[in-house]
Structure 1
């Protein structure tokens, strides 16, 4: 994340003032980025395609059309070739990447009709683009690059690219430094040269191979519902940033007007954000820790919008267009109304607890709110009145800036609340979507009790502890210092005599239970996870999932599903939020992480030999 942000900053600074330090910074950060994780390929793709699109648009719109057409052609090849009878692409041997398997995959790939068609479109697009640029080249300039890019104004993408490509010494220095960082890290300081292959082709191949595996089987809207629960400022300011950017960027692009640096940044961040969401949502493997990459461009856009608002207020105050009291009154009003709204909804949604059919307890709304739901929306009417008053006093633009900054301040408080709660209060309890699968605190609690019992019986860690395949991880690690630990796989072959037997619920067969007749058990959670099936998976249909049973959680309808079915499922969820009870349920989830379904878990049992029950219970209680 840090390397990506640094690369973006250095590129923008180089456009403003093409100095060597920015090129070297990009080179080093790119080397570190590629040595970190596979998202480096996504970052590189987004940056390269953006620069290619902007430069061709600036130089020749015909060339831009060719580039866009080539991109559309590649997409058409990918989508249409299977319909014309082309077989699926060969499977990437990510599980067994031996030399023979990799060579066989490469041979199958290069002769595959879809691959050949894509190469044909790509080559044709490159030739057509170069031919179009040649016609647009200024023949009076010396050199092909200067003829194509020499007319671009200083500070433009084309001018920066020309400076970069013609300053070869700096370019090669940056490439060399980046390669040095990458090679040093991926070869373990030059002791494993095979790491170069695994760090480039191997890393990309593994990531692409995981696409069809669909690890975790998350739906296409996973990152959308995830970000909305934690990144309030970035998500809520995103549509505002889109509107502000389009308002300035579209006329400038259509009429070839100069684009100021802030609008350029917003345009790039919008492209970055949409491409990020598209690629990460398309990828078969979706995990909560990847959310930081989808949020980054949204956070930059939000910062740009807030910065513009702050400049508007500062300018008005410095030019004495606005008395200070006109700033503090509406700002304080927003803060008080936001606090009042939170207090009202916290009180109104804290009705009696009711047990659901799933076994979970959920709060209902207070009876007075059920009878008079309009009370919940009184703060909104007050906010509207404050907006009207502020607009009349300060003007719409300045009022929006003052009220917007105050609202962002309250949203930051809310973000701090949810982040602190998740990190420091519920770090090992998966009430948050960001906590994917977490080892239960029962595991360390059980190990503490086992350690105490072992010291009671043997004076150390010599007690026999038997465990099965279902508990081998993580107990194989926790029991690493117990020399008499005993692993029995899935079946207990003879009546055990160990003081403690650990067995997962998956292995509780009739035979194993018979063998454990001389023991008494207590059941614990080994791993537990957020109840996704009963919560966010109901938001929409996900027909892209290979597992048909996980495509639709809204209704009993079976696939295949059409695009209309997907849109209808989204509308069903959005329209359902008009119900105050649903709004209250969502409020309790985001504000207090009160789930309406029990946490899912993988359980195990701790069996204690009956003659040790008194000692064991004394330890536990």
Structure 2
């Protein structure tokens, strides 16, 4: 036993020496990855605060600011309240998981400690966590070099660094880039643990899965994809251990293929039934008659879940103490599974108890800390964390936020991710033709993600990165052999053959696709960053008019209230976001929080009134004669002419409700949202439309999509003669 420990210690020392003093080749590899990381950081942090906060960004930034005050600033009070005080943050799936509020609030606090004004909270600091994890995501393929190859890993990092979607949503205060990081970290950790059997990687996998779930409920999709693929591998390995052919060529050698076929048949049937059941359950939960009963059942389930998880935690701790008291030597277990043909089964059956127990306990602690909000909601936090997110997600399936068609991502992703789409599809074929388990997983991950996210009710542009992530890894696998072939030719200095010429042609195509991708990345992030009518990925975005409104309010506050942020402001419901964030430091602001009376001003005779949307008319009439009105655009939106045309009921065919009506994607690409009567899809016109959009950002459809607002300034504040009298 002492010899084993000495060997382990010596191995750790050797590992640290290799890390601190790498070989020349390893050092050059690290430099190459480091350069890509620097590029990624530059692209993500450059001008990070210039774009106004989106509606959702404003919510996340604002409630993180509240979190900083009420949890980090008044933790003892919130701890004693234990979720009974509404001022203390509690997990609410409406805004997704608690991770982002913890981390953004922490950034605010750290920034305030180093002297950044306004308590360290501003547009830049709200986006720092997204930019940091978006940059860290680029470095993760370094740990997949044994699966992707050195060139494949580096290319994956490079493609992630310059991807238009990855860059944009790394500069965006939403949880999807966090989830993408934790998903890839989970896959890296699992792959490394299977290869090295190092307990640290299993712990990282458990923590990554927990943090992903604490970030967004869509982690259920990740679990479904990983679990179903692992099930297929286990079935294959079980079948490969059963030989059925000794003579005769018409039978397979083992039961692997028949077992896998049966698994896919059964699993596919069960999955179809399950998704159909989920749709029915979602409809039932959206029925107001069933909500009260569902809430009551959920409350009981959450209470029992909390009890069971606490008992499980105690039981696991007792199990660990018992095993330690028995002096378990952790000797390798004897297993009948072949390490070459059945590595997953062998790993699962020989998994040391110290590995899985520590991983589970670590994940449990992380889960409890986040969902109980630093132990300030012990009573309901754990149960909410397990069930409330799923419950909310099911109810949202009928809401179908965005109302996008099933082909939404098939239209959006190719418009931006050219090198990813072209070579990702090549990589998909490559993985199927030259399969390894990891390559097959990448293919399954990509195809499964496209299917699941296209099936889900909510389809929004930020969800595209969960499909782009495996797509770019596939693209790296496709490009890597081309690079290796040409690099080998340069080293050998031989006359090029057909393979080298093909590789050169492939790299030329890759460079052409890369140029278009870089153009799209530059346009969407640095030129049209708040110009939603010209960027499908932006979809809807707060305009810079919000900055103009805030400058007027700040000027009046300086003139009449000495810059103390005491000017009185009334805001209707439609204008709450993003102004709740921008007016957070003004002490005399009243927001209309009622959905029923959303256009009723919460305060009469305020110095400034702000109204949005359909509230504008009523507020203008109310302020006529006593206020000066200025009209602005609060948000602008991308044209949605690609929506399906109006459904016409026919015999035997019913039409579902259509929230948006368009002309269909093909006519929209050919003629925009107003095609001439009798027009048909024109491939040449569509190609020209896309070409001009790529290079000139010539809008495909209408650019009139706008959600307006008005700001009303009281006359005695803005008219010179009344200002003097005042």
TM norm structure 2? 0.57
- Equivalences for residues 110-509 of structure 1 within 5 A: 146=335, 150=337, 152-154=338-340, 156=341, 158-169=342-353, 170-193=355-378, 194-249=380-435, 263-322=436-495, 394-395=497-498, 397-430=499-532, 431-460=534-563, 461-479=565-583, 482=586, 485=589, 500-509=608-617
Deviation at 1:282, TM superposition (A): 0.5
Q: Provide closer, same or farther for how the CA distance between residues 71 and 97 of structure 1 changes in structure 2, counting only shifts above 3 A.
A: same
Q: Provide closer, same or farther for how the CA distance between residues 306 and 289 of structure 1 changes in structure 2, counting only shifts above 3 A.
A: same
- C-alpha separation in 1, matches of 2:601 and 2:490: 83
Contact 2:556 2:717 in 1 (8 A): no
Structure 1 unmatched runs, 5+: 109-143, 250-262, 324-393, 558-573
Q: Provide closer, same or farther for how the CA distance between residues 98 and 321 of structure 1 changes in structure 2, counting only shifts above 3 A.
A: same
Residue in 2 that maps onto 1:38: 217
- C-alpha separation in 1, matches of 2:229 and 2:632: 52
Structure 2 unmatched runs, 5+: 1-179, 240-255, 302-332, 668-678
1:600 equivalent to 2:705? Answer yes
- C-alpha separation in 2, matches of 1:481 and 1:74: 53
User: Which structure has the bigger radius of gyration?
Assistant: 1
Task: Give deviations 1:368-413, integer Å, cap 9, x for gaps.
Answer: xxxxxxxxxxxxxxxxxxxxxxxxxx31x32221222233234334
Q: Provide closer, same or farther for how the CA distance between residues 478 and 425 of structure 1 changes in structure 2, counting only shifts above 3 A.
A: same
Q: Provide closer, same or farther for how the CA distance between residues 55 and 485 of structure 1 changes in structure 2, counting only shifts above 3 A.
A: closer
User: Which of 658, 664, 684 in structure 2 is aligned with 1:554?
Assistant: 664
Deviation at 1:105, TM superposition (A): 6.4
Deviation at 1:486, TM superposition (A): 6.0
Residue in 2 that maps onto 1:55: 234
- C-alpha separation in 1, matches of 2:588 and 2:204: 55
Deviation at 1:272, TM superposition (A): 0.8
- C-alpha separation in 2, matches of 1:105 and 1:551: 37
Q: Provide closer, same or farther for how the CA distance between residues 420 and 89 of structure 1 changes in structure 2, counting only shifts above 3 A.
A: closer
Per mean C-alpha deviation after superposition, the further-off stretch among 57-66 and 289-298 is 57-66
- C-alpha separation in 1, matches of 2:398 and 2:601: 39
User: Which of 659, 674, 691 in structure 2 is aligned with 1:587?
Assistant: 691
Deviation at 1:97, TM superposition (A): 12
C-alpha RMSD over aligned residues? 4.2
- C-alpha separation in 1, matches of 2:289 and 2:454: 27
Deviation at 1:267, TM superposition (A): 1.6
Deviation at 1:501, TM superposition (A): 3.8
Deviation at 1:476, TM superposition (A): 4.8
- C-alpha separation in 2, matches of 1:576 and 1:213: 31
Contact 2:611 2:619 in 1 (8 A): no
**SS of corresponding position for 2:294:** helix
Residue in 1 that maps onto 2:128: none
Q: Provide closer, same or farther for how the CA distance between residues 12 and 519 of structure 1 changes in structure 2, counting only shifts above 3 A.
A: closer
Q: How many residues align?
A: 470
Deviation at 1:214, TM superposition (A): 0.4
**SS of corresponding position for 2:632:** strand
- C-alpha separation in 2, matches of 1:487 and 1:19: 54
Q: Provide closer, same or farther for how the CA distance between residues 496 and 56 of structure 1 changes in structure 2, counting only shifts above 3 A.
A: closer
Q: Provide closer, same or farther for how the CA distance between residues 511 and 613 of structure 1 changes in structure 2, counting only shifts above 3 A.
A: closer
User: Which of 179, 199, 222 in structure 2 is aligned with 1:20?
Assistant: 199
Contact 1:230 1:415 in 2 (8 A): yes
Task: Give deviations 1:469-519, integer Å, cap 9, x for gaps.
Answer: 333444455445555556686667999765544333513447952651454
- C-alpha separation in 2, matches of 1:21 and 1:544: 55
Q: Provide closer, same or farther for how the CA distance between residues 541 and 6 of structure 1 changes in structure 2, counting only shifts above 3 A.
A: farther
Deviation at 1:439, TM superposition (A): 1.8
Residue in 2 that maps onto 1:5: 184
Contact 2:627 2:713 in 1 (8 A): yes
Q: Provide closer, same or farther for how the CA distance between residues 615 and 486 of structure 1 changes in structure 2, counting only shifts above 3 A.
A: farther
Residue in 1 that maps onto 2:263: 67
Task: Give deviations 1:148-180, integer Å, cap 9, x for gaps.
Answer: xx1x342x5x32332233223222232222223
